[in-house]
Amino acid sequence: MAKSYIVGNWKMNQNRHELNEFFGHLEKEELNPGNFWIAPQFIHIQTCIEKTNKVPLKIGAQNCSDQTSGAFTGEISPSSLADIEAHFVILGHSERRALFNESNELINSKVKAVMGNKLVPILCVGETLEQRESNETMNVVLDQVTKGLQGVKLGAEDDIIIAYEPVWAIGTGKTASPEQAEEVHAGIREKLKELYPECGENISILYGGSVKPNNIDDLIKQPNINGGLVGGASLKAEDFMALCRAIN
């Protein structure tokens, strides 16, 4: 069976004071262990990792370079992330694709670089509203999955996570209905089984896009939705804990 996760994507939010409060709350309320991950801004990764001796979370990044070292001013190396014991990297988020022109080819190169450094990539895919309205959802999403995984070999199902995030549902308060999301997740599952006959059945596929404590239960009831990649609701400790409790 695919494992269930809650992954918080803090984006460019949460200052030091706010993250101290967040972790303080989780410690006080005694979050039970589970597959609960947080991606803060790069500058806070080390601080958050230090806090995981008291709170059962894994910490990762929201992006990284596809290069390991060298003259790439301003970039962050996946090997440096591995060096400070980060656990995972979110790749190909729709904000990276749209605002920073990340192509499927670059994202594929990042997936390989991240796995080469023994970090877990979370490969994000999803269609825009325009693509959904012109019935291109499945084509776009499966193309992103196929190109993102081109030449990627997996040793086990836990080596990678896929996140389906319809662009029109991110930060808008509009969640895909559980049925709409499941239709795409089931299509991704078929593609994963085709690409990875040994483990495609058990690769976790997370849903993202306005996931909240009040809609998580219906989403995770779907057979191919294995948890959430959560933006807004992961910033508030109470909401994040409610999401974690829902999947435990």
Amino acid found at 62: Q
Give the nearest residue (CB) to ligand PGA: 231
Residues in the interface with ligand PGA (CB under 6 A) total: 13
Least CB distance to ligand PGA at residue 208 (A): 4
**What is the residue whose two structure tokens read 């695919």?**
2
* Set 95, 127, 157, 165: catalytic member: 165
Asked whether 10 and 63 are in contact (CB, 8 A), the reply is: no
Among 161, 232, 243, 246, binds ligand PGA (CB under 6 A): 232
3-state class of 216 per DSSP? helix
Least CB distance to ligand PGA at residue 180 (A): 15
CA 162/CA 189 separation, integer angstroms: 10
Looking at 60-164, list the stretches that DSSP marks H as alpha helix, in order from N- to C-terminal side: 78-83, 94-99, 104-116, 129-133, 137-148
Among 206, 229, 243, 247, binds ligand PGA (CB under 6 A): 229
Q: Which residues pair with 206 in a beta bridge?
A: 163
Among 78, 209, 213, 227, binds ligand PGA (CB under 6 A): 209
**Packing angle, helices 16-28 and 237-247, rounded to 10:** 50
Among 125, 103, 114, smallest CA distance to 187 is for 125
Contact pattern from residue 127 through residue 166 relative to ligand PGA, giving x for each residue in contact according to CB under 6 A and a dash for the rest: --------------------------------------x-
From the list 38-46, 56-64, 196-204, 231-239, the region that binds ligand PGA by CB under 6 A is: 231-239
Would residue 93 show up in a list of annotated catalytic residues for this protein?
Answer: yes
Among 29, 50, 100, 171, binds ligand PGA (CB under 6 A): 171
Residues 79 to 138 in contact with ligand PGA, rule: CB under 6 A: none
Would residue 25 show up in a list of annotated catalytic residues for this protein?
Answer: no
Structure tokens at 144: 């992103």
Start-to-end CA span in the chain (Å): 15
From the list 18-26, 62-70, 139-147, 209-217, the region that binds ligand PGA by CB under 6 A is: 209-217
Sheet holding 161-164, edge to edge: 58-59, 36-39, 5-9, 227-230, 205-208, 161-164, 120-125, 88-91
Residues of this chain that bind ligand PGA (CB under 6 A): 9, 165, 170-171, 208-211, 229-233
Residues known to be catalytic: 93, 165
